[in-house]
Structure 1
Amino acid sequence: MSQSALPDQRVIVVDFGAQYGQLIARRVRDLHVYSEIVPCDITADEVRAMAPAAIIFSGGPASVYADDAPSIDPEILELGIPVLGFCYGQQIMAVTLGGEVGHTEKGEYGPAPLTRCGESALFADTPGEQTVWMSHRDAVSRVPEGFTVTSSTDVCPVASMECAERRLYATQFHPEVRHTAFGNELLANFLFGICGLVPDWTMDSIIEDSVAAIREKVGEDRVILGLSGGVDSSVVAALGARAIGRQLVCVFVDHGLLRKGEPEEVEAVFTEQFDVDFIRVDARERYLELLAGVSDPEEKRRIIGTQFWKEFFAVAQQLDGVKYLAQGTIYPDIIESGARKTGGKASTIKSHHNLIPFPEGVSFELIEPLDHFFKDEVRALGTALGLPDHIVHRQPFPGPGLAIRIIGDVDAEKLEVLKSADAIVREELDAYNERLFQETGVRDSERSVWQYFAVLPDIRSVGVMGDERTYARPIILRAVESQDAMTADWARLPYELIARVSSRVVAEVPGVNRVVYDVTSKPPATVEWE
């Protein structure tokens, strides 16, 4: 961790390219044990230097006998650190230690009934018959010397194996997915029963350790932060306020492209609730001038991003004693960019850390206190730090703001139309989601809407208002449901809700005479229009 002190105990997840790699780390953290993902080409010496309390091998899409199949440093299995392998992780453990993996005639995908064989510290008190989640064709056909088979299914004779003496355990199935009925119990048995870990990685300890680490690093110097009002930068600001107070300078560049009321909300939170040095830069007119006549979405993005740094550094260069630049980088940014901090084996680094256009003669050391937290952990951290719900649970919002929800060029009139229409959409769907919560008692109900907003297309349409013909703008309503943000389905909103949104937008927003509803899923579409 960069500015968050590492816990005394941690689990490393060795990633073999699994679709569930991040999920494994998340499940361990859900049990209040810190976990970190490392690539499978990590060496035993690097593992030893990290001093993990336990190791988990992830699954992976390859066959262990493929020419380019990922492998491991065999010495990792000789370090005396408890190891638990899943799917490919079981297979690589087996072949590395002298066992065999075969290509079965019949694959096994989805839920499968499993039967335990004898005693096992991993299975402990879980039932003798249970349902697990399988996803494989290859499977262990002969276990290594010293291992015993601890469970099987009709298709897979070695559904799990272990060598208790060496504290090596493995399953062909995936305990990390919810479809494995006792998966959480198996993980807990490994972490607490076998490894002897303590579930002490809690939000209170995270805040305490992070605050101490920031104070130690910063000392008497000042830190500057580009505060967007989004979840990540706001949590960094709240954490910085707790750690160093007014040594933190929050620069909020108001480009005029946020949603209605958001700039005022951001300023109120960080001037009234948190004791930081808050600077609001009114750049609205400058952005409108730069965006005038620009319709290409990529050019809009370039202009908005470039101008942000110009505005930001214009302020930064006027300040004295600023040594550090804080950023809201989170763990998925690090993982997906390949910017790994252990072993230096990253293949591609596209992280924005390296893209900050420092003016000539200007540079700051980076502080990234969230760089080992997942998004939901960042939200939980924000709540624990006292941030209001409208920031902590803010919907995903594009960096260029409303500029890419206006199709075509951007001007003051279009911004006003879109802000007013979008405010109505959010008000009505906020209320709808809240009603669902009251009915179900679950905030993340599958029936609730994940993201919803208005889009202003670059067209006009004919209409009739009163006795007069109109030629005005349409508004597109976009509302989607999603569990992982990788895919999304259009929300089946009640007709009466769509009708109410339409009636209000046409009646309350001058210049709009039509509302349409986007009923396209992702894929083939994306959530945003540009």
Structure 2
Amino acid sequence: MNNAAQPDQRVAVLDFGAQYGQLIARRIRDLKVYSEIVPGDISATELAALKPSAVILSGGPASVYAEDAPQVDPGVFELGVPVLGFCYGQQAMAVALGGEVGHTEKGEYGGVQIELAGHSRLLEGTPQQQTVWMSHRDAVTRAPEGFTITSRTSTCPVASMECPERGLYATQFHPEVRHSAHGNQMLQNFLFDICGLTPSWTMNSIIDDSVAAIRAQVGDARVILGLSGGVDSSVVAALCARAIGKQLTCVFVNHGLLRKNEPEEVEEVFTRQFDVDFVHVHAEERYEQLLAGITDPEEKRRIIGSQFWNEFFAVAQDLDGVRFLAQGTIYPDIIESGARKTGGKASTIKSHHNLIPFPEGVHFDLIEPLDHFFKDEVRALGTALGLPDHIVHRQPFPGPGLAIRIIGAVDREKLTVLKEADAIVREELDAYNERLFRETGERNGEGSVWQYFAVLPDVRSVGVMGDERTYARPVILRAVESSDAMTADWAKLPYEVLTRISGRIVAEVPGVNRVAYDITSKPPATIEWE
């Protein structure tokens, strides 16, 4: 079952394990053409069923002559659509079509100068000499019959090659990487001049297509959505609201573990701005009782997750005519959960089904309208749908909420302390990021903080306040710079910012007498504490 709207134009990116696989897809989408990642070993028949307008073969870490090297189905080159290969993709194309690949004496890594060799449709409009990004030791030593060598380096005899008559193009370098000075021009040449595509995949067209797809799937049935207030579920709610209005019921389970004022903000947005049925489940006391005395973080997660479904399905079973469950699954979820290994998307969606603990006798079909979008595209979609910035640009927030930012057992007093301290951290660092944006014009430029929050450890410390000894709680500040949460470095905040945060927390949050700053990167630490 595929819920996403399907564009008329589609570039299929065959992934051979490249570190740049997702980047290729993103670069194509940045040029307003829809792209989709598929396994490198997909058969030509399976690929043809996707009706691609063009095919790109990614790079990869393997040698084409290794015993377990991924191979491209030669039938891919007979589909009648243009094919472009990068790095390993060029080598796989060469071997499949009768060329040769050899192991060069010297590898090429990083910025390398290429020299153009004759006319090239792919390299049209780029300089005779230019810097490209290489990462290889193997290289094509003899191009297949019918191919023209279009550039070379002092080490690599076939830096790029093409056979326009068959619509086949390839480069040993990586045009998708920004370090390839004219790589974007090459991608435009391929998409628009060679493939004849148009830059029509815009936010307006995405919304229109998605709305039409949701309406076609749902008909006159009802849809239920577990709304967390996070970016993904909020954008799904806004999109479904645009498509089916009152046929959508949003269930917001308030476990009492959200940040200060968040429940009120979520309710205001979805009761005043969007015409949906909104059910606010006040489960704070039930969660408080279930979490009493629980110190193990995994047990906290299990309790919070299980109780969410208990609360959600209690509401769902009271509603009539609900046939569909909407979810905020996004494209990286699909990729990371095994689509690459399982050979396609259908089996991945089934695994999502299996992760939902439907009660006995209860089942809903899934709607996953974001399952072809990357995170920043989801944010852009949210903005286009009219969601406020505090939801669209919400920081990553763990599903179990503040329960795993409280080290040890969770209780009402600790939650109050952490919510107040965390609100100060966010207020000050929101303002700091905004100042940087005004100065630099970059929303996520150098110096900006990607994620920031407070942690409450399960200790007390001695202090002096008002000439009296105190024995109160410390608060730990965590602030990191990152782009994808895979790695992160601690933020080098100015001393005056740290001083203001510390001073405000100690002065404004009763029960806190000390603020510490976590200066550990990921790895070896994680961003969250539990």
Tell me the TM-score normalised to structure 2 length.
Answer: 0.98
- The CA RMSD over aligned residues, in Å, is 1.5
Question: How many residue pairs were aligned?
Answer: 530
In the alignment, is the contact (CA less than 8 A) between 1:338 and 1:346 conserved in 2?
no
Sort the Cα spacing of 1:321 and 1:44 in 2 relative to 1 into closer, same or farther, 3 A: same
Residue 338 of structure 1 aligns with which residue?
338
d(CA) in 2 for partners of 1:321, 1:351? 25
Partner in structure 1 of residue 376 of structure 2: 376
Letter in 1 for 2:506: V
Q: Is the 8 A contact 2:99 2:142 kept in 1?
A: yes
The 2-side partners of 1:520 and 1:415 are apart by 25
Cross-structure match for 1:83: 83
Q: What do the CA deviations read for 1:232-274 (whole angstroms, capped 9, x no partner)?
A: 0000000011000010000000000000000000000000000
Q: 1:489 matched to which residue of 2?
A: 489
> Secondary structure of 2:293's partner?
coil
Distance 1:109 1:353 in 2: 43
Q: Which amino acid aligns with 1:301?
A: R
Question: Does the 8 Å contact 2:38/2:344 carry over to 1?
Answer: no
Distance 1:344 1:466, change over 3 A: closer
Question: Matches of 1:484 and 1:141 in 2, distance apart?
Answer: 37
Cα distance in 1 for partners of 2:321, 2:347 equals 36
2:282 matches 1:305: no
The answer (yes or no) to whether the contact 1:116–1:128 under 8 Å persists in 2 is: yes
Three-state SS of the structure 2 residue aligned to 1:484 is: coil
Instruction: Give the structure 2 partner of residue 394 of structure 1.
Output: 394
Q: Aligned partners of 1:462 and 1:349: how far apart in 2?
A: 53
Distance 1:20 1:458 in 2: 42
Q: Report the counterpart of residue 31 of structure 1 in structure 2.
A: 31
Question: What residue is the counterpart of 2:460 in the other structure?
Answer: 460
Q: Secondary structure at the match of 2:253?
A: strand
> 1:354 Cα deviation (Å)?
1.8
Q: What residue in structure 2 maps to residue 188 of structure 1?
A: 188
Q: Can you give the 5+ residue segments of structure 2 that lack an aligned partner in the other structure?
A: none
Does structure 2 conserve the Cα–Cα contact (< 8 Å) formed by 1:334 and 1:351? no
Decide whether the 8 Å contact of 2:39 with 2:341 is kept in 1: no
C-alpha displacement of 1:339: 3.7
1:404-437 per-position Cα deviation (integer Å, ceiling 9, x unaligned):
0001110000000000000000000000000000
1:158 aligns with 2:155: no
Write the distance in 1 (CA, Å) between the matches of 2:121 and 2:471. 73
Distance in 1 between the 2:305 and 2:80 partners?
50
Partner of 1:261: 261
Contact 1:11 1:56 in 2 (8 A): yes
Q: Which amino acid is the alignment partner of residue 434 of structure 2?
A: E
Q: Which residue of 2 aligns with 1:328?
A: 328
Q: Does 1:220 align with 2:206?
A: no
Shift of 1:347: 8.9
d(CA) in 1 for partners of 2:303, 2:449:
32
The residue aligned with 1:523 is 523
Find the aligned partners of 2:362 and 2:483 in 1 and give their Cα distance. Answer: 42
Residues 297-335 of structure 1, C-alpha deviations (whole Å, 9 max, x = no match):
100000000000000000000000100000000000001
TM-superposed deviation, 1:41: 1.5
Which runs of 4 or more aligned residues in structure 1 lie more than 2 Å from their structure 2 counterparts after TM superposition? 1-5, 339-353
What percent of counterpart residues are identical?
A: 80
Deviates more, 1:477-486 or 1:320-329: 477-486
Residue 113 of structure 1 aligns with an amino acid whose one-letter code is Q
Are the equivalent residues in 1 in contact too, given 2:215–2:244 (CA < 8 A)? yes
For the pair 1:14 / 2:11, whether they are aligned, the reply is no
- Tell me if the contact between 1:13 and 1:37 (Cα under 8 Å) persists in the aligned partners: yes
Task: Name the structure 1 match of 2:363.
Answer: 363
Query: 1:522 and 1:99, CA in 2 relative to 1: closer, same or farther beyond 3 A?
Result: same
- 1:477 maps to a residue whose letter is L
> Which amino acid is 1:470 matched to?
T
Give the CA deviation at 1:123.
0.5
SS of the counterpart of 2:69?
coil
Query: Any stretches of 5+ residues in structure 1 without a counterpart?
Result: none
Q: How does 1:62-81 map to 2 (within 5 A)?
A: 62-81=62-81
TM norm structure 1: 0.98
